[in-house]
Amino acid sequence: MAAWRRLLCVAALAAGAAAGQEEGDRGAAGPEGSSAPEEDARSTAIGASAQLSASARGGRELLLAAYLVRSGVRITAGGESTSGAGAPERRGVVLGGELELGDDAAVQLEARVVPAQEQMSRTAGEAWLRIGWLAAGVLARRTSLGAQRLDALGAGIDLSAEILGVESALRVVAWHLDLTASRSPDPWTAFGRRTLDWAEQWQADLSARRAFGRVAITAATAMSQSPPLSHLFLSAGAGIELRIGPTLLGAALGAARGPDGVAAEMSARVAVGALP
């Protein structure tokens, strides 16, 4: 489902940067006698977003988040709810932050915690360092289901560029996985269905965005491989985004192919104010 989050968020990143630039331009054009508190107020922005996703593997996710941007620092706080055909609803907390180190460098952090519910708990985190068009990151998570436990440690790279007006991003992550044994003939699939944590040995996401005024077209494709090696997952889709004042509306539709065949995927999102 991460590919669908990127499909809907890739445009928001650029839109948020553009909004920040416009705000900075308005501040620079203000009266010379403006007070320091007024300048601080102009440099502070808040926002919120809601995103609903449904995956071909039977999972559903609702993510609610609030954002605070001030002086090159972005703080994110929110909650998520996930459920599926073989997994009861579980709720968790999402925290994130981004710190600008310079004109073209930043550190990005994210943590997700699902307290013990319905015999499952999860703790995950990732850290990325971006310099210009290149970013490198480390990722880790631990998911427990009763006596079973999945430990995953990953490393990734992220490349971004704008070519002929098309904003593109490619992210590749490789994982080292450790899953405690179970009596299931396919413990990886059984664990994923009950926790919605699909263990992937590697994953690659490619997204693109092209703006036409207030409207933008997005596209994304993803590929991942889970143990055993024959479990290859492919997905592709397209979406549309509409900017109305401080509000961004987005929707995406696509299809995913896995061991069980091809099924549809969809996602919808609304963001207001300081965009994620």
Beta strands in 27-117 (DSSP E): 44-54, 59-70, 73-84, 87-102, 105-117
Q: Which CATH number fits domain 2-29+41-273: 2.40.160.40, 2.60.40.2380, 3.40.50.300, 2.40.50.100?
A: 2.40.160.40
- For residue 148, what pLDDT is reported? 92
Q: How confident is the model at residue 226 (pLDDT cuts 50, 70, 90)?
A: confident
- The average pLDDT across 191-201 equals 90
- For residue 263, what pLDDT is reported? 83
- The average pLDDT across 61-68 equals 96
- The average pLDDT across 38-52 equals 78
Could you tell me the residue ranges of all domains in the chain? 2-29+41-273
Instruction: Count the Cβ atoms, other than its own, within 10 Å of residue 232.
Output: 12
Is 125 a residue whose pLDDT tops 60? yes
Q: How confident is the model at residue 183 (pLDDT cuts 50, 70, 90)?
A: confident
Q: How far is CA 260 from the centre of its chain?
A: 25
Q: Which of 210, 109, 222, 130 is closest to 173 using CA atoms?
A: 222
- For residue 24, what pLDDT is reported? 40
Q: How far apart (Å, rounded) are the C-alpha atoms in residues 58 and 85?
A: 6
**Residue 116, CA distances (Å) to 22, 134, 217 in order:** 44, 36, 39
Is 93 a residue whose pLDDT tops 70? yes
**Residue 69, CA distances (Å) to 19, 27, 166, 231 in order:** 12, 15, 26, 41
80 neighbors 92 (Cβ within 8 angstroms):
yes
Q: Which of 87-101, 103-117, 215-229 bottoms out in mean pLDDT, i.e. has the lowest?
A: 215-229
Q: Determine if the pTM surpasses 0.85.
A: no
- The average pLDDT across 146-156 equals 95
Q: Which of 17-31, 45-59, 200-214, 230-244 bottoms out in mean pLDDT, i.e. has the lowest?
A: 17-31
Q: Which of 18-22, 49-53, 141-145 bottoms out in mean pLDDT, i.e. has the lowest?
A: 18-22
Q: Which of 14, 94, 18 is closest to 50 using CA atoms?
A: 94
Where is pLDDT greater, at 11 or 263?
Answer: 263
Q: How confident is the model at residue 42 (pLDDT cuts 50, 70, 90)?
A: low
- For residue 209, what pLDDT is reported? 96
28 neighbors 18 (Cβ within 8 angstroms):
no
Angle at 55 between CA 67 and CA 195, to 5 degrees: 85
- For residue 259, what pLDDT is reported? 72
Is 235 a residue whose pLDDT tops 70? yes
The first and second tokens of residue 65, run together, are: 């988040």
- The average pLDDT across 52-67 equals 88
Is 95 a residue whose pLDDT tops 70? yes
Which of 102-127 are b and which e, b meaning 16 or more Cβ less than 10 Å from the residue's Cβ?
eeeebebebebebeeeeebbbebbbe
Sign of the torsion angle spanned by Cα atoms 117, 118, 119, 122? negative
The residue with tokens 């971004």 is 160
Q: How far apart (Å, rounded) are the C-alpha atoms in residues 55 and 4?
A: 9
Q: How confident is the model at residue 190 (pLDDT cuts 50, 70, 90)?
A: confident
CA atoms within 13 A on the CB side of 84: 18
Q: What is the 3-state secondary structure (H, E, C) of 140-193?
A: EEEEEECCEEEEEEEEEEEEEEEECCEEEEEEEEEEEEEECCCCCCCHHHHHHH
